[in-house]
Amino acid sequence: MKTDIQIARECELQPIGEIASLLGIDPEQIEPYGRHMAKVPVSMIDEERVRKSRLILVTAISPTKAGIGKTTVSIGLALGLNRLGKRAAVALREPSLGPCFGMKGGAAGGGYAQVLPMEKINLHFTGDFHAVTSAHNTISALLDNYIYQHRKDGFSLREIYWKRVLDVNDRALRNIVTGLRGDGVVNETGFDITPASELMAILCLATSEQDLQRRIENILLGITADGRPFRVRDLGVAGAITVLMCDALSPNLVQTTEHTPAFIHGGPFANIAHGCSSVLATKMAMSYSDYVVTEAGFGADLGAEKFFDIKCRKTGLQPRLVVIVATTQGLKMHGGVSLENINEPNMQGLKEGLKNLNRHINNMQGFGQPVVVTLNRHDSDLDAEIDMVRKNCEDLGVGFAVNEAFLRGGEGATELAQTVVDTIERIQPLPIHFTYPENDTIEGKIEKVCKRIYGAAAVEFTKTGKKRLEAIRAIFGDDEAIARYPVCIAKTQFSFTADSTRYGSPEGFTIRIRDVILNCGSEMIVAIAGDMLRMPGLPKSPQAERITIVDGEIEGLS
């Protein structure tokens, strides 16, 4: 079987100006990054067209080590829609270097359903991740300098919330001490991975350059010795940080293996952040396409919940339909089958695994959304296995289609595309049923997500979690703006629980909230569940061991 890189090299890319023209964008208006990538100015968004476009959300069952292929399906669906004569585009997140060189490998789709040029997209792309990393760490340096320069004036912070970030999986940097040997003020701090940066969330939620700067000004850095919040605006550097990020604000335009326009912008992980591509990229795609396919990270309990309760709630965006991706291998793992045996027939394991799929279906219907399930087909799938999944969906009254875009590109996704179109035309959109009311308490919002979406029986806050909640109330009181913030729960992607080993559809469990973080720039409350860490580590055999360059060609980045 050909590798993703081999398939990508078979594709003759069109100049990016021609891709812009396909959308109806004047090539003179874009800013090319080489021949096959470009940034599109935010001013090109047309809000009237956005309202008329049909947005499709792609999500998935809880992921397993077997993989799901959600990005491949998202790209394939856009290809399939174009094969049906629809004007379609795809809006996705940018890959992070950490997973690319760690466990996951590349994240630009796969097979004949990829976004291209995949090597550049998976690596440095147009520099957005570097801009976020640089801007974040510049704030860190400026904050440390402010404390150092004003210490003789009696200034100090009793708590510092702002850490540093790096787009590399590096467990050694989770907890560090800075300012040793007299070089500044000694402080215990650490690193998160760049996708977990509040600036990444701000980039993905900002609606304009002015909104970007406003959010940056509001970032909460810490608490002063006399109990006052200390923000970026107090440093007086919001303008400088906006300058560092202003180019990154414009969505990136690339193409697929079949020259379908693709907007790739922003990259928050759904297990540690809100897991959605930028609002601006979504609106840009909707401005020039009748159908736009976007995805939310990991399983529907994470990315899709945050897509609705954060992104849609705050922007007014609403999808016309939700596609849930599943594989027989993933379902079997959720049914108790070991990784080594998932390619073997096991109807009982598959049947048990359907409970995971069905909970996700129920959750998406709970948001008031029409649902289509697609089985991302593998060579080892039996017709009897596919029929079992199909019948399960028919019994639940949801659409079902097999996807073969990995092997056949858009032709292999036409069944899915037709099912999606038919469902959209048949069912009128309903207002989104959010998981919690906007004016609920922080605890109430967290509990409703844990109980209604995850299926938890109870929620417990650790001493640290309770302390954080008390501090937020003591400092901000009844601040109406903060009271409206949605919650973003950082939780393992492998389970409805906070225990990554509990596959399937567990019940009767307790979610433990270890910490609560107030993000005043991205305007959300981040709750850390269980042992979730915001700086991943590398596996025993990282993907970096298989990435190299031979005769000028990159190998292993897939």
Asked if pLDDT for residue 103 goes beyond 80, the answer is: no
d(CA 208, CA 45): 11
pLDDT for 477 equals 86
Percent of residues, the chain, with pLDDT higher than 90: 88
Q: Do 348 and 413 contact (CB within 8 A), yes or no? A: no
pLDDT for 105 equals 66
Asked if pLDDT for residue 439 goes beyond 90, the answer is: yes
Q: CB count, 10 Å around CB of 51? A: 10
Query: Do 129-244 and 4-128+248-426 have the same topology in CATH?
Result: no
pLDDT for 104 equals 67
Residue-wise burial string across 106-144, b where 16 or more C-beta atoms lie within 10 A, e elsewhere: bbbbbbbbbbbbbbbbbbebbebbbbbbbbbbebbebbb
Q: CB count, 10 Å around CB of 21? A: 15
- How sure is the predictor about 513, in pLDDT bands with cuts at 50, 70 and 90? very high
pLDDT for 144 equals 95
Mean pLDDT of the chain: 95
**pLDDT by residue (tens digit) across 32-62?**
999 999 999 999 999 999 999 999 999 999 9
> Angle 507-513-517 (CA atoms, 0-180°, nearest 5)?
145
**pLDDT by residue (tens digit) across 314-355?**
999 999 999 999 999 999 999 999 999 999 999 999 999 999
- How sure is the predictor about 1, in pLDDT bands with cuts at 50, 70 and 90? low
> How much is the pTM?
0.96
CATH homologous superfamily of 4-128+248-426: P-loop containing nucleotide triphosphate hydrolases (3.40.50.300)
pLDDT for 66 equals 87
Tell me the Cα Rg of the chain.
23
d(CA 501, CA 358): 19
Pick the CATH number of 129-244 from 3.40.50.620, 1.10.10.10, 2.70.98.90, 3.30.1510.10: 3.30.1510.10
Strands 38-39 and 252-256: antiparallel
Asked if pLDDT for residue 288 goes beyond 90, the answer is: yes
Q: CB count, 10 Å around CB of 507? A: 12
Closest CA to 271 of 11, 73, 534, 466: 534
**pLDDT by residue (tens digit) across 136-168?**
999 999 999 999 999 999 999 999 999 999 999
- Residue that has been written with the tokens 């100015």 in this structure: 41
Domain limits of the chain? 4-128+248-426, 129-244, 442-529
pLDDT for 309 equals 98
CATH homologous superfamily of 442-529: Formyltetrahydrofolate synthetase, domain 3 (3.10.410.10)
- Residue that has been written with the tokens 């993989």 in this structure: 67
Q: Residue 231: what are its φ and ψ, rounded to 5°?
A: -115, 175
d(CA 157, CA 144): 10
